[in-house]
Structure 1
Amino acid sequence: MIEFYKFHGAGNDFILIDNRSLQFNGDKVAFAQKWCSRRFGVGSDGIIFIENQEGVDFNMDFYNPDGSQSFCGNGSRCAVAFAKLIGVGDGNFTFKAIDGIHQSKFKDNLYHILMSDVNGIEKIGNDYFMHTGSPHYISYCGSSDQRDIVEFGREIRYSDKYKAAGTNVNLVKFISDNKIDLRTYERGVEDETFACGTGATAAALVSAFVKQLNDGEIAVKVKGGDLKVQFERNNDTFKNVWLIGPAQFVFKGIIND
């Protein structure tokens, strides 16, 4: 019997398990593949195990629904909110993820995650590629652009260039110089998600590069709500990148596995 909690960050939903006492010690890949299923499991965009880690407040061990691993921005906000709920601390944490050490802040009822520095943007025709803890392909569209994000996402994700490692695919529309609309196809989920934190970060940073914004904040409207990305830019290098948004507890339950 495994106790779990369900959280979402702007509609990006996750199963969270307090594994500090190692209540789960089985095959995490198979567990994620089974219980992320929306028809035969709990249903989620990923599973996060919160575990003890020397030198930091906790380790965030994240798995996509297909069992693969990457850094997850929205998942990290949910992990921080969950760690706060179970008494690890007040939301101002240092935690470890697959891509390294991150900081978090809880301020004005929003969760702030310090992302890794980003160096380099790849230009691909009229599109872009950036790695923000997970790989992201960025394509811009106008108001009359009717591309289907799932069809377009699968076309790019399974192209010869990306099919081996996979990539997330994002369609971005400018609302203003510092506000964008974003839709994301996520690898591992292999479908559109209501939000993607690393995708919002990549889309915001590439947009800052396109609009030649040196610092500040870009608002990102996603299917499940609103996110913000703060940054400092020097050419194609970004530092002090903060992903900001909500994280909401939904329910808790017991998995009998």
Structure 2
Amino acid sequence: MHGLGNDFVVIDARDAAIPAMTPAVARALGDRRTGVGFDQLILLEPSATHDFRVRFFNADGSEAGACGNGSRAVALLHGAPAMVETQGGTLRLEPFEGGARVDMGSPRFEWDAIPLAYPMDTFAMPVGWESLAGPMAVNVGNPHVIFFVEDADAVELDRLGPLIEHDPLFPERVNVNVASLAGPDHLKLRVWERGAGLTRACGTGACATAVAAVRRGLVKSPVRVTLPGGDLAIAWEPGSTILMSGPAVESFRGSFRWEDYS
């Protein structure tokens, strides 16, 4: 499946036992030359407290707390409203024709909720990496830093993204967002995803960036966020949860032998 070109392998293990998913298996499946290939792997499992549980693995095998585009794919696959358990908290999914709306929960702004290595103002962080400086940090199930720039396309994100992702300031690494203002309710965004690199779209990045832009008074909600793969609609006001709406698509179904990747 994919959401705006951000692509996923979805394994539905809600009604069938499978071997344990490990970072090595996820990494092997994620190899685009010798595996199946994906930005994230999504594993659906039973839950004792929710309709089901969803786990997200990056292409490097690391596990993420949330995935916005992936959550819309899950909603479309499930085909009905659901409350799902994730590492980053409870999500409410509501599919519609060609996509879904997801309540992503409330953003977190405390330095230790991002988390950062030491206390710091997350509204305008007193740090910088070359031309990128003064970001805001937001946790929306996984950690993001957001830089507002004149031209998002002009930033060497393929070079600066990994430097920032792996900076010791971020003990759990971080997703790196560069955004430029395109209108009073419109942002242009590119994202370097933790564990996945440059992707065509990032749902949690769109959420975090819209929240940051609303907090700084740059845009009004709802916000149209344009990524390389297309547009998402993000609605958020201070004190409320984040509502993300956008498309999702099933590309194909297939099978593999588990022993080939373990």
Report the TM range for the smaller structure's normalisation.
Answer: 0.7 to 0.9
The equivalent of 2:149 in structure 1 is 141
Residues 1:223 and 2:228 are matched in the alignment: yes
Is the 1:112–1:243 contact (alpha carbons within 8 Å) kept by the matching residues of 2?
yes
Residue 253 of structure 2: SS of its match in structure 1?
strand
- Higher relative contact order at CA 8 Å, sep ≥6: structure 1 or structure 2? 1
**Alpha-carbon distance in 1 for matches of 2:55, 2:194:** 18
- Residue type of the alignment partner of 2:69: N
Is the 1:60–1:95 contact (alpha carbons within 8 Å) kept by the matching residues of 2?
yes
Is the 1:14–1:75 contact (alpha carbons within 8 Å) kept by the matching residues of 2?
yes
- Aligned equivalent of 2:159, options 139, 145, 151: 151
Residues 1:194 and 2:200 are matched in the alignment: yes
- Residue type of the alignment partner of 1:123: A
TM score, norm. by length of structure 2: 0.85
Is the 1:177–1:211 contact (alpha carbons within 8 Å) kept by the matching residues of 2?
no
Residue 222 of structure 2: SS of its match in structure 1?
strand
Unaligned runs of 5+ in 2: 110-121, 127-133
The equivalent of 1:117 in structure 2 is 106
Residue 212 (structure 1) shift: 6.2
Residues 1:57 and 2:55 are matched in the alignment: no
Residue 80 (structure 1) shift: 1.4
The equivalent of 1:3 in structure 2 is none
- Residue type of the alignment partner of 1:228: A
Identity of aligned residues (%): 29
User: Which has the higher mean CA deviation after the structures are superposed, 95-104 or 196-205?
Assistant: 95-104
Residues 1:44 and 2:52 are matched in the alignment: no
Residue 21 (structure 1) shift: 2.7
Residues 1:76 and 2:71 are matched in the alignment: yes
The equivalent of 2:251 in structure 1 is 250
The equivalent of 2:190 in structure 1 is 183
User: Which has the higher mean CA deviation after the structures are superposed, 73-82 or 198-207?
Assistant: 73-82
Residues 1:103 and 2:92 are matched in the alignment: yes
Residue 27 (structure 1) shift: 3.7
- Residue type of the alignment partner of 1:222: L
Q: Decide whether aligned partners of structure 1 residues 43 and 180 sit closer, same or farther in structure 2, where only a CA change above 3 A counts.
A: same
Residue 34 of structure 1: SS of its match in structure 2?
helix
**Alpha-carbon distance in 1 for matches of 2:58, 2:70:** 10
Is the 1:136–1:167 contact (alpha carbons within 8 Å) kept by the matching residues of 2?
yes
Q: CA RMSD in A?
A: 1.8
- Residue type of the alignment partner of 2:75: V
User: Which has the higher mean CA deviation after the structures are superposed, 200-209 or 151-160?
Assistant: 151-160
CA displacement 1:81-110 (0-9 Å, x = unmatched): 1222xxxxx2x1111111121111124543
- Residue type of the alignment partner of 2:200: F
- Residue type of the alignment partner of 1:230: A
CA displacement 1:145-181 (0-9 Å, x = unmatched): 722111121121122312x421010110100121000
Residue 112 (structure 1) shift: 0.6
Residue 135 (structure 1) shift: 0.5
Q: Decide whether aligned partners of structure 1 residues 22 and 29 sit closer, same or farther in structure 2, where only a CA change above 3 A counts.
A: farther
The equivalent of 1:205 in structure 2 is 211
TM score, norm. by length of structure 1: 0.87
Residues 1:94 and 2:83 are matched in the alignment: yes
Unaligned runs of 5+ in 1: 1-6, 85-89
The equivalent of 1:31 in structure 2 is 25
Residue 254 of structure 1: SS of its match in structure 2?
coil
